[in-house]
């Protein structure tokens, strides 16, 4: 018998793949700016490491991800025992929720944030509660006030997806000080590499063995390894000892491990990625402003844009012109779209197509 609470789940809808658009509409020159992927592709060093290890695919991967954790611990300045590797940071979040949230337990987050937070909470029979954003930003004081004796986890995204907005160091520290020790905070930093405001806090600066704080990061975005599904969590080592009891063996595949190790050494690639995103972000925002199209200022590699009609209509119209973006109705923004920064020619094509569609010529 299917568990009753699963009947209420709505599956997560990922961004449309290029192959699907070609299959459905016959569009073969499409560009995809829907899933916040790295427009440069993967790190060249990661590609070389994959090539070198293709002949080892008959061997199981290292279930403990020993060498990547060693490299990552040196890179982050923490101990390997404070790391948990996952099949994407989504898996680490799933394991945390399964470890810490009993049926009926409460998970607190915000409105208009990453949809998987609510889905994973519902999947374990938990109660998902949302505090509203304030001027498109996470309202940390409101979240602290919303904590109840049943609250087990608080899930935060900084920069927030899909708004791209951030909270700052002082308000973050005040928020942490206001929480009871029974509540674990999960800080999702999937887009932290694209935040160039020095007042945006890094969760690593607040990592302590006696503090119930976990950070999530990924190799999918800045490092260009989304197709390999590899991410990680950092937090107290004692917590990971318990989470590891739920983790499936061999959850991080062999090629993902070697590619991530190589990507960590590719500082030039990361620098080029950040420069491309910063310049492209500035260009798109400047053009939107000049064209009279409103948007939310962002510290991520994507931009949330207000349109003058249902975002789903704009999304459908742009698909027919081979530009894949994201409609935001599932996030509670029915008259918004989201686009990630692409290559310069992709950014220009997006802007011209958007203007054409909004002028109802599309």
- Shared domain for 183 and 241, answered yes or no, is yes
Instruction: Label residue 308 by pLDDT band (50, 70, 90).
Output: confident
Per-residue tokens: 298: 């962002």
37 part of a folded domain: no
Question: What pLDDT is stored for residue 361 in this prediction?
Answer: 54
Average pLDDT score over residue span 101-109: 96
pLDDT above 70 coverage of the chain, percent: 93
CB atoms within 10 A of CB 280: 20
**pLDDT above 60 for 12:** no
Residue 16: which pLDDT band, with cuts at 50, 70 and 90? low
Does 198 map to a domain? yes
The answer to whether residues 260 and 274 belong to one domain is no
Q: Are 339 and 326 in contact (CB under 8 A)?
A: yes
Among 10-14, 42-46, 135-139, 254-258, the least confident range? 10-14
User: How far, in Å, CA of 91 to CA of 297, rounded?
Assistant: 30
Q: What is the mean pLDDT of the segment spanning 33-54?
A: 97
241 in the same domain as 298: no
In this predicted structure, which of 28-32, 78-82, 250-254 has the lowest mean pLDDT?
Answer: 28-32
Q: How far apart are CA 15 and CA 185, in angstroms?
A: 28
313-340: pLDDT as tens digits: 999 999 999 999 999 999 999 999 999 9
**Confidence category of residue 9, pLDDT binned at 50, 70, 90:** low
User: Does the pLDDT of residue 27 top 70, yes or no?
Assistant: no
Edge-to-edge strand ranges of the sheet holding 184-188:
83-86, 231-234, 213-218, 184-188, 151-157, 106-110, 127-131
Q: Which of 264, 287, 321 is the last residue of a domain?
A: 264
pLDDT tens sequence across 165-195: 999 999 999 999 999 999 999 999 999 999 9
* Same domain as 137, residue 188: yes
Residue 52 lies in a domain: yes
- Tokens representing 51 are 């090539």
Q: Are 159 and 245 part of one and the same domain?
A: yes
How many domains are contained in the chain?
2
Cβ atoms of residues 298 and 160 within 8 Å = no
The rounded mean pLDDT for the chain is 94
**What CATH number does the domain containing 338 carry?**
3.90.1150.10
Q: Tell me which residue of 32, 35, 99, 46 sits closest to 230, measured CA to CA.
A: 46
Strand partners, 84: 233
> Sign of torsion, CA 256 259 262 267?
negative
Residue 294, number of CB atoms within 10 A of its CB = 12
CA dist 126 and 105 (Å) reads 5
Domain boundary pick from 201, 231, 264: 264
The top-scoring range by mean pLDDT among 10-19, 24-33, 157-166 is 157-166
pLDDT value of residue 21: 65
Whether residue 255 sits in one domain with residue 275: no
**CB under 8 Å to 123, separation ≥6 — which residues?**
5, 6, 9, 94, 97
Q: How confident is the model at residue 29 (pLDDT cuts 50, 70, 90)?
A: confident
Reported pTM: 0.93
Is 185 within a domain? yes
- Structural domain for 312, as ranges: 4-32+268-358
Kindly tell me if the per-residue pLDDT of 10 is higher than 90: no
pLDDT of amino acid 360: 79
For residues 180 and 285, state if they share a domain: no
**In a shared domain, residues 194 and 129:** yes
The strand pairing partners of 86, in sequence order, are: 231
Q: What is the pLDDT of residue 11?
A: 67
| Residues 190-247 pLDDT 10s | 999 999 999 999 999 999 999 999 999 999 999 999 999 999 999 999 999 999 999 9
| 250 & 208 share domain | yes
> What's 85's DSSP letter?
E
38 located within any domain: no
| Domain end call among 203, 236, 264 | 264
- How far is CA 362 from each of CA 319, 346, 352, 354, 358, rounded to the nearest angstrom? 10, 18, 11, 9, 8
Q: Quickly list DSSP for 98-129.
A: HHH--TT-EEEEESSS-THHHHHHHHTT-EEE
User: Which residues neighbour 30 within 8 Å (Cβ) at sequence distance 6 or greater?
Assistant: 18, 21, 22, 322, 323, 324
pLDDT (tens digit, 9 = 90+) per residue, 256-299?
999 999 999 999 999 999 999 999 999 999 999 999 999 999 99
pLDDT, residue 179, reads 97
Report the C-alpha gap between 240 and 235 in whole angstroms: 7
Compute how many other C-beta atoms are within 10 angstroms of the C-beta atom of residue 360.
9
Band (pLDDT 50/70/90 cuts) for residue 24 is confident
Q: Which of 315, 281, 224 is nearest to 37 (CA)?
A: 224
């Amino acid at each position: 018998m299917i568990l009753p609470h699963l009947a209420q789940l709505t599956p997560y809808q990922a961004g449309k793949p290029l192959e699907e658009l070609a299959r459905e509409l016959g569009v073969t020159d499409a560009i995809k700016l829907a899933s916040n992927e790295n427009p440069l592709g993967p790190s060249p060093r990661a590609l070389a490491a994959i090539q070198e290890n293709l002949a080892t695919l008959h061997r199981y991967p290292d279930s403990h991800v020993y060498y990547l954790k060693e490299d990552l611990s040196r890179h982050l300045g923490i101990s390997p025992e404070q790391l948990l590797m996952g099949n994407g940071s989504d898996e680490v979040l799933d394991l945390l929720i399964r470890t810490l949230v009993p049926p009926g337990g409460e998970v607190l987050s915000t409105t208009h944030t990453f949809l998987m937070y609510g889905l994973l909470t519902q999947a374990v029979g938990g109660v998902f509660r949302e505090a509203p954003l304030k001027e498109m930003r996470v309202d940390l004081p409101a979240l602290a006030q919303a904590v109840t004796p049943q609250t087990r986890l608080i899930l935060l995204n900084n920069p927030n997806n899909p708004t791209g907005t951030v909270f700052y160091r002082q308000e973050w520290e005040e928020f942490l000080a206001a929480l009871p020790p029974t509540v674990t905070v999960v800080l999702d930093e999937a887009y932290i590499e694209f935040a160039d405001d020095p007042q945006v806090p890094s969760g690593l600066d607040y990592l302590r063995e006696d503090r119930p704080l976990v950070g999530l990061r990924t190799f999918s975005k800045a490092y260009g390894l989304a197709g390999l599904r590899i991410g990680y969590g950092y937090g107290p080592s004692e917590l990971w000892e318990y989470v590891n009891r739920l983790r499936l063996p061999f959850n991080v595949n062999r090629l993902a491990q070697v590619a991530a190790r190589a990507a960590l050494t590719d500082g030039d690639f990361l620098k080029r990625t950040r420069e491309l995103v910063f310049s492209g972000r500035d260009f798109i925002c400047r053009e939107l402003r000049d064209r009279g199209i409103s948007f939310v200022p962002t510290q991520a590699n994507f931009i949330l844009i207000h349109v003058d009609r249902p975002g789903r209509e704009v999304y459908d119209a742009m698909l027919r012109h081979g530009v894949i973006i994201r409609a935001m109705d599932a996030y509670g923004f029915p008259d918004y779209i989201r686009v990630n920064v692409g290559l310069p020619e992709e950014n220009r094509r997006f802007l011209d197509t958007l203007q054409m569609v909004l002028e109802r010529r599309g």
